[in-house]
Amino acid sequence: MTLSRPLKWIAALLLVPVLLAVLFIALFGWNWLRAPVEQMTLDKTGRQLVIGGDIKLKFGWPRPHVHTGAVTFANPAWASEKQMISAEALDITIDLPQLFLRHIVLPEVRLKHPVIFLEQGSSERKNWLLDLNQQDDSASILIDRLTLDQGRIGYDDAAQKTHIRAELSTTSATPEFSGLTFGAQGQYKGLALKAQGSGGPVLGLRDESSPYPLKADFSVGDTGVKINGSITSLLKFSALDLQLALRGNNLAQLFPLLGIAFPPTRAYTTEGHLQHSGTSWRYDKFSGRIGSSDVAGSLQINTGGKRAAMQAELTSKVLDLADLAPLIGARPGRLQAARKAAPAAQTALPLPAQARVLPDLPFRAEHWDSVDAEVDLSATTIRRAKGLPLADLTVHLSLHDSVLILDPLNFGLAGGQLKAVISLDGRHDPIQAKAQVWAKEIQLAKLLPLVTLNKTSIGRINGELDLVGSGNSVGHMLASANGKFGLVVDGGLVSKLLMEEVGLHLWEILSLNITGDKQIKLRCAVADFDVHQGIMQTKALVFDTEVTTIIGSGNINLAQEKLDLTLNQKTKSTSPLALHSPIYVRGTLAKPEVGVDKVRVAARALGAIALGIVNPFLTLLPLLDAGPGQDSNCAELLRETRRAPKDNKK
């Protein structure tokens, strides 16, 4: 069957353009595309594209392949470098269906010896955006997989204080496999950056089907990072599976890098398994050290909500108490330094920072709204300052909407328990703070084991603290605090020598130093304070034993860390030789000063000398302490003590 004449003419008319196009391409190749492509690029972007060498096109549906010689693409005028991209050769595949939809998608790009410079300028301009103003995020080329055959890459963002330069080289481990090694240096967000590492030959920028192998060691400021594993989609980090090791001087320094608030700490190291999928990040089975303390556990962060949500379960076999100091704003070695720096009692206050005991470093509450957190920490053994009898620690930290709550916060202390609930509301400036603390069954003998006289003391302390205050450090919170504080010792035994020394009973002190100390009954001990605007005012301060009753009065100024307490003794039995004088506790928390009324003591001594001149047997009369002669009732003592300030005002 033959075609009719009209159909033959139609077929010829259709084939002639195709044959002419084939003949044209055979004679002149694809180089005729250079001029229209360069002109179109200039019209659309305002930037010059220069294509060198021959253009070669290999048809394939839906992704034809294009090869060119040397290529350069200019930067906009505001950029600091003249060219955004230059390369000795270019190979690309083009996604035609996406191109018909006016989207430029390049599934594969290979650059030979490229020099690439990326820059973000003012007004959110980015040189990789192809609109005339470099501000339209949709006007960009989407690249799935990128191969760089050696080259250099730079990135600048003046607003973020970021300036990075990287060198890349291609290595061939085997004939079948080649990889990429890199080194980089510069600044990231104002912090010095250094990096080196290696990866696979093809960078999967948006490719979510092929995990990219990566091994790197880099540092940003004082933070060091080592990773070994794979990343899927280098631009979006769709999935990660890495062994991650971190080291640094302070976990709080991670905020500029991650945008998530971590608490201030001492120097740390940690290593574990980092996984990421979707909005979930998990740092699993990690272990390491913070200061001198070991730490292990797991941490998970979900970034799908209003703010990042963190959950962590942490354990420590040996927790060094000094490593907790930065968490509460205390300076390392604060107490020892304060004792050395503390001025004499008459020195004008407030004290300089180096002479203060209460923590005064501010909390960074402005970062608390970056994360919601639920963190559990338990420690089996606590390494503490000598003589501080702390045991295991259990704490749950909750942070939501800038409100941080520790509930519970439990310590073992001197054979008993110290339990607390603490709330810090970072939505206010200064921070609004609440603290409730309960002391239960704390053993007196274990509380101060380094005090020799206390080793013969037996008794259990119970107490309660309930305070509210405001401030951006613990010291400022206590300086403005209102509430109450009380301690009670219900029965027990105490050193007789200690009580005779407090009572200034010279004869009994001498006798007990010869015969040895004894234990006497502790009938009652109460410390009851009202706290108003940082002033702890005594309501009742009583220590009642078989030998002496001590009744105290005065106050403790938490803002100035100043002590102003007076202890009066009431002897219960006649002492042949005693110095009658109140005991004054003055000075500061760092450097307390204990003394007596020197005028009163001197007057009694002079009286004894004067009587001795008249009659030697009368010498001891001024030094004789007859005492009340009977035991007193503890409840009545408390009532008398609390009435005393009122009576004195009348």
Q: What is the pLDDT of residue 572?
A: 62
* Diameter of the chain measured on Cα atoms: 162
Q: What is the pLDDT of residue 165?
A: 97
Task: Give 581's pLDDT tier (boundaries 50, 70, 90).
Answer: low
| Chain centroid offset of residue 379 CA | 18
Q: Report d(CA 93, CA 106) in Å as an integer.
A: 6
pTM (predicted TM-score):
0.77
For 351, counting Cβ atoms within 10 Å of its Cβ (0-12 exposed, 13-18 middle, 19+ buried), the class is buried
Residues 6 or more apart in contact with residue 549 via CB below 8 angstroms: 542, 543, 569, 570, 572, 632, 637
Domain-embedded: residue 93: yes
Check whether 637 has a pLDDT greater than 60: no
The domain tally of the chain equals: 2
Domain-embedded: residue 420: no
Task: Look at residues 158, 208, 213 and name the one whose alpha carbon lies nearest to residue 180.
Answer: 213
pLDDT digits (tens, 9 = 90+) for 406-463: 998 998 887 888 899 999 999 999 999 999 999 888 876 676 554 444 455 567 788 8
Q: Record the tokens describing residue 477, joined without a space.
A: 């919170």
Domain-embedded: residue 445: no
Q: What is the pLDDT of residue 60?
A: 84
pLDDT digits (tens, 9 = 90+) for 343-394: 544 433 455 555 677 888 888 888 899 999 999 999 988 887 565 667 788 9
Choosing from 160, 193, 225, the residue where a domain stops is 160
Domain-embedded: residue 296: no
pLDDT digits (tens, 9 = 90+) for 226-260: 999 999 999 888 999 999 999 999 998 998 888 88
Domain-embedded: residue 44: yes
Q: How far is CA 85 from CA 31, 114, 141, 202, in A?
A: 21, 7, 13, 18
Domain-embedded: residue 458: no
Task: Give 479's pLDDT tier (boundaries 50, 70, 90).
Answer: very high
Check whether 542 has a pLDDT greater than 60: yes
Choosing from 104, 129, 160, the residue where a domain stops is 160
Q: What is the pLDDT of residue 92?
A: 94
Domain-embedded: residue 156: yes
Taking residues 555-584, what's their average pLDDT?
A: 74
Check whether 595 has a pLDDT greater than 90: no
Q: What is the pLDDT of residue 333?
A: 55
pLDDT digits (tens, 9 = 90+) for 517-540: 666 677 778 888 999 999 999 988
Tokens 């009065």 correspond to what residue? 553
Task: Give 323's pLDDT tier (boundaries 50, 70, 90).
Answer: confident
Least confident of 273-282, 285-294, 547-556: 547-556
Q: Report d(CA 568, CA 637) in Å as an integer.
A: 13
Choosing from 160, 180, 195, the residue where a domain stops is 160
Q: What percent of the chain has pLDDT over 70?
A: 72
Domain that holds residue 519: 491-649
Domain-embedded: residue 24: no
Q: What is the pLDDT of residue 167?
A: 96
